């Protein structure tokens, strides 16, 4: 069933492209008003407006219906979501310490009340000027 809907969807998409390319633009009406375009039309002097416009509307409606049908098929065929599909983690592994990701030693600042985002520079003894 889904394959049939996909085939109809592709055929209607190609038909819409063809129908849109066959239609004349708004500027073509000015040339036909002076007699140059009316004699060359396949559908007579009335032009192709009604036939191609209605055909395009029908094809667009079928395209929308097949798009919605394919979306419904895709929704039914999906498996569990990202959160539901995650593997179950052993709770014992969550309590083990994790090794640091870099070679830089980590400073324990859990007890330090002044710990923040800005590093603290230790105070140094004043440097005297040479010759004093």
Q: What is the per-residue pLDDT across 88-121, written as a single tens digit (0 to 9) for each?
A: 667 676 676 766 667 766 666 666 555 566 666 7
The pLDDT score that the predictor gives to residue 50 is 84
Domain membership of residue 105 (yes or no) is no
Domain membership of residue 69 (yes or no) is yes
Domain membership of residue 88 (yes or no) is no
CB of 75 closer than 8 Å to CB of 69: no
Sign of CA dihedral 84, 86, 87, 91: negative
Domain membership of residue 126 (yes or no) is no
User: What would the pLDDT profile of 8-58 be if each residue is shown by its tens digit?
Assistant: 999 999 999 999 998 877 665 555 556 555 545 555 555 556 888 899 999
What residues have CB less than 8 Å from 24, skipping those under 6 apart? Answer: 47, 48
Domain membership of residue 84 (yes or no) is no
Q: Which percentage of the chain shows pLDDT scores above 90?
A: 30
Q: Which helix (H) or strand (E) holds 31?
A: helix 28-33
What residues have CB less than 8 Å from 114, skipping those under 6 apart? Answer: 120
User: pLDDT band for position 71 (50/70/90)?
Assistant: very high
Task: Calculate the alpha carbon distances from 53 to 12, 16, 31, 50, 82 in Å.
Answer: 15, 11, 20, 5, 44
Q: List the domain range (segments joined by +) for residue 17.
A: 2-77
Total domains present in the chain: 1
């Amino acid at each position: 069933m889904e394959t049939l809907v996909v085939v109809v969807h592709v055929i209607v998409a190609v038909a819409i492209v063809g129908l849109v390319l066959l239609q004349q633009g708004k500027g073509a009406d000015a040339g036909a008003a002076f007699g140059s375009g009316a004699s060359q039309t396949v559908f007579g002097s009335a032009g192709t407006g009604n036939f191609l416009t209605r055909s395009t509307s029908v094809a667009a409606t079928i395209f929308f219906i097949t798009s919605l049908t394919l979306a419904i098929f895709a929704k039914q065929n999906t498996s569990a979501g990202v959160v539901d599909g995650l593997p179950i983690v052993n709770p014992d592994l969550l309590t083990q310490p994790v090794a640091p990701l870099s070679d830089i030693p980590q400073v324990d600042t859990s007890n330090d009340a002044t710990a923040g985002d800005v590093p603290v520079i230790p105070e140094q003894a004043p440097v005297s000027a040479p010759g004093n």
